[in-house]
Amino acid sequence: MEGKEVKDSAYLFLGSIGPAFEKTTLGVGDKIALKAIASAYRVSEEEVKKRYSTTGDLGDVAFELSRGEGKSLTIDEVFGKLREIKETSGKGSQEEKVRLLSSILQRASPEEGKYIVRIVLGKLRLGFGDQFLLEALSLAFTGDKKYTAKIKESYNVCTDIGELAESLSEHGTRALGRFSIKLGRPVRSMLAQRVESFEEIEKRIPGEKAVEEKYDGERVQIHKNGNEIKAFSRRLEDITAQYPDLVEAVRRDINAEKIVLDGEIIAYVEGSKADDSTQEFYSFQRLMQRRRKYEVQKYAEIFPVAVFFFDILYLEGKSLLKEPYPRRRALLEENVKQSEALRMAGRIVTDNLEEIEDFFNKTLEKKLEGIIIKSMSSNAVYEAGKRSWFWLKWKEEYAEGMRETFDLVIVGKYYGRGKRKGSFGALLCAILNEEEQRFETFTKVGTGFTERDAKEIDSLLSEHIVNEIPKNVLIKSRMMPDILVEPTVVIEVLGAEITKSPGHTAGQGEGDTGLALRFPRFLRIRYDKGPADVNTVKEIMNLKEGIGV
């Protein structure tokens, strides 16, 4: 077998007549298949129905009814006929599909008839999937199974199984590693590894890293080739028809002629009033309302979406898969003109874990899921189809390992930054060191407040503002808040994890690192408690040992 025959049979093995990203359904349902079987084997439709109700598989029915009259078919014949069936459309197409299917069944052996019926119905179950086929290709065209992993790597980039098989049959192992991204043929998405603890982030990606907002929607790879725009899902399906609004936005606002962008589609509305800096991210369920065949336009208006781009894979004829992430991000920024529907994933670049924590807390405030941490290293290429250590994911639920509440006293306040400038930012909170009789900072709380809470806290604090750090408070200069207050107001906070931190002073003794509470969330003001009633350093140390953090 060679060339085109290899290509076509690779598709057929996977029960299709083309690559996953092309629309290959034949438009044949049970009704058409039933009629074709009846006509091919000259039995009544009733007879076919009866047998179908006992076997539950029209392929088996064809096998039973076939009298073995047909000679063997060639791959070329089968493939050609199936393509013809697919392309028949319009008036009278149902009858034509019946006729075409019937004619090929007449010429098929019983076994062939069985599989042809299953393929046209999209129900081929050979009991093996892509992986098995890749192994078979390795054995057939390199003489050894050991190349399967390498073939799989190529398959992540060349997702057209037919093209891959054909190329292997012609060039053997020389075909490997030669594939690149091509317009109209999506590569498999790069995925992120999960880390088990916040510290692991630093271990996996030491030093400077990018931290991006993580959107919970639908992964999308957009291919623009002049006026032709296509959108592919993570499973490589063509989802262009579902998002006419995004297609239009790409046509209008992306100037590059040939470009491939990677991002996440999310149900989203930008704050509409001038003074409104809010962004509204909606649930995944809401986005799924857009997954429909009919009334697409109407639903596009009811459920507006935006795509948040975080990568660029191809630009004007050149693959960017081997370019490092910082370079790709720079090119992405150059080529995406932001609009309401086309956005860039929000991010910071930092080597400071506390900043990452702050950024994470802010993403939760926006009702996002978490963060993706990305390596800035020069070898951080786009690893198509891989769960890569160049990308780490950290979600709220990972931080929920420990959930305890703490009573803390407020010693300072930070203003909001950026868009939230001047407004309520975060509170610097402390616990009591009984031995030293002072308050030592333990965490910075920036989430969980309603607008009313924020106002109430502001008014309570207003009476206690001071110009210098009070004598009974220990704050590191790097944590200096915008406003200092006497330790008076007590709040209850939910926290996830106690860790060592160079920024906080709680229990630091002679050393330089104190204890800190990670992922704090404001619960309520404790009017009933005074500063002497807050948690003590001793209690926190016991708790830390008790839970073995």
Ligand X SMILES: Nc1ncnc2c1ncn2[C@@H]1O[C@H](COP(=O)(O)OP(=O)(O)OP(=O)(O)O)[C@@H](O)[C@H]1O
Q: Which residues are annotated as a binding site for ATP?
A: 212, 219, 234, 264, 310, 387, 393
Q: What is the dihedral of CA 71, 76, 77, 78, to 10 degrees?
A: 90
Of 226, 219, 228, 385, nearest to 317 by C-alpha is 226
Scanning 110-118, 214-222, 413-421, 537-545 for contacts with ligand X by CB under 6 A, the matching segment is 214-222
Element of type H or E holding 425: strand 424-433
* 394 part of the interface to ligand X, by CB under 6 A: no
In angstroms, what is the minimal distance from the CB of 307 to ligand X? 11
**Which residue, 119 or 220, has its beta carbon nearer to ligand X?**
220
* 214 part of the interface to ligand X, by CB under 6 A: yes
In angstroms, what is the minimal distance from the CB of 356 to ligand X? 14
Looking at the DSSP bridge assignments, the partners of residue 223 are 230, 260
In angstroms, what is the minimal distance from the CB of 519 to ligand X? 18
Q: Which residues in the 496-535 window bind ligand X by CB under 6 A?
A: none
Scanning 211-219, 244-252, 281-289, 351-359 for contacts with ligand X by CB under 6 A, the matching segment is 211-219
3-state DSSP percent of the chain in helix, strand and coil, to 5: 40, 25, 35
In angstroms, what is the minimal distance from the CB of 396 to ligand X? 11
* 264 part of the interface to ligand X, by CB under 6 A: yes
Contact pick of 6, 372, 373, 381 for ligand X (by CB under 6 A): 372
Output the known binding site.
212, 219, 234, 264, 310, 387, 393
* 396 part of the interface to ligand X, by CB under 6 A: no
In angstroms, what is the minimal distance from the CB of 95 to ligand X? 44
**Which residue, 220 or 515, has its beta carbon nearer to ligand X?**
220
Scanning 117-125, 169-177, 213-221, 335-343 for contacts with ligand X by CB under 6 A, the matching segment is 213-221
Give the span between the Cα atoms of 298 and 288, in whole angstroms: 14
Give the span between the Cα atoms of 68 and 277, in whole angstroms: 72
**Which residue, 176 or 372, has its beta carbon nearer to ligand X?**
372
Please say whether the beta carbons of 419 and 277 come within 8 A. yes
Concerning whether 214 is annotated as a catalytic residue, the answer is yes
**Which residue, 310 or 442, has its beta carbon nearer to ligand X?**
310
* 215 part of the interface to ligand X, by CB under 6 A: yes
In angstroms, what is the minimal distance from the CB of 372 to ligand X? 4
Element of type H or E holding 525: strand 521-525
Binding mask 286-325 for ligand X (x = CB under 6 A): ------------------------x---------------
In angstroms, what is the minimal distance from the CB of 209 to ligand X? 13
CB neighbourhood size of 471 (10 A): 7
Scanning 94-102, 210-218, 428-436, 505-513 for contacts with ligand X by CB under 6 A, the matching segment is 210-218
Contact pick of 112, 160, 212, 357 for ligand X (by CB under 6 A): 212
Looking at the DSSP bridge assignments, the partners of residue 268 are 281
* Residue matched to tokens 């083309």: 18
Of 383, 401, 396, 403, nearest to 193 by C-alpha is 383
Kindly give the residue spans of alpha helices, DSSP state H, lying in 284-435: 284-288, 296-302, 325-335, 353-365
Q: Which residues in the 218-247 window bind ligand X by CB under 6 A?
A: 219
Catalytic residue among 86, 214, 374, 395: 214
Contact pick of 104, 192, 313, 411 for ligand X (by CB under 6 A): 192
Write the CA distances from 503 to 35, 197, 410, 428, 517, integer angstroms: 76, 19, 16, 11, 11
Scanning 145-153, 180-188, 207-215, 529-537 for contacts with ligand X by CB under 6 A, the matching segment is 207-215
The size of the chain, in residues, is 549
Number of residues that bind ligand X (CB under 6 A): 11
Q: What is the dihedral of CA 292, 296, 298, 300, to 10 degrees?
A: 90
**Which residue, 58 or 307, has its beta carbon nearer to ligand X?**
307
Give burial (CB, 10 Å; 0-12/13-18/19+) of 230: buried
Specify the DSSP class assigned to residue 536: B
* 381 part of the interface to ligand X, by CB under 6 A: no
Beta-strand pair 305-315/342-344: parallel
Please say whether the beta carbons of 342 and 402 come within 8 A. no
Write the CA distances from 73 to 80, 105, 287, 326, 440, integer angstroms: 11, 10, 46, 54, 83
In angstroms, what is the minimal distance from the CB of 440 to ligand X? 36
Q: How far does the chain reach from its first CA to its final CA, in angstroms?
A: 61
* 204 part of the interface to ligand X, by CB under 6 A: no
Contact pick of 43, 136, 139, 191 for ligand X (by CB under 6 A): 191
Beta strands in 252-297 (DSSP E): 258-270, 279-281
Write the CA distances from 477 to 42, 473, 480, 504, integer angstroms: 91, 12, 5, 10
**Which residue, 116 or 259, has its beta carbon nearer to ligand X?**
259
* 393 part of the interface to ligand X, by CB under 6 A: yes
**Which residue, 99 or 219, has its beta carbon nearer to ligand X?**
219
SS3 352: coil
Structure tokens at 78: 């089968």
In angstroms, what is the minimal distance from the CB of 223 to ligand X? 17
Scanning 64-72, 139-147, 208-216, 479-487 for contacts with ligand X by CB under 6 A, the matching segment is 208-216
Binding mask 340-369 for ligand X (x = CB under 6 A): -----x------------------------
**Which residue, 217 or 514, has its beta carbon nearer to ligand X?**
217
SS3 218: strand
**Which residue, 79 or 391, has its beta carbon nearer to ligand X?**
391
Give the span between the Cα atoms of 306 and 191, in whole angstroms: 21
**Which residue, 212 or 323, has its beta carbon nearer to ligand X?**
212
* Residue matched to tokens 């510290």: 199
Show which residues are catalytic.
Answer: 214
Contacts with ligand X, residue ranges (CB under 6 A): 191-192, 212, 214-215, 219, 264, 310, 345, 372, 393
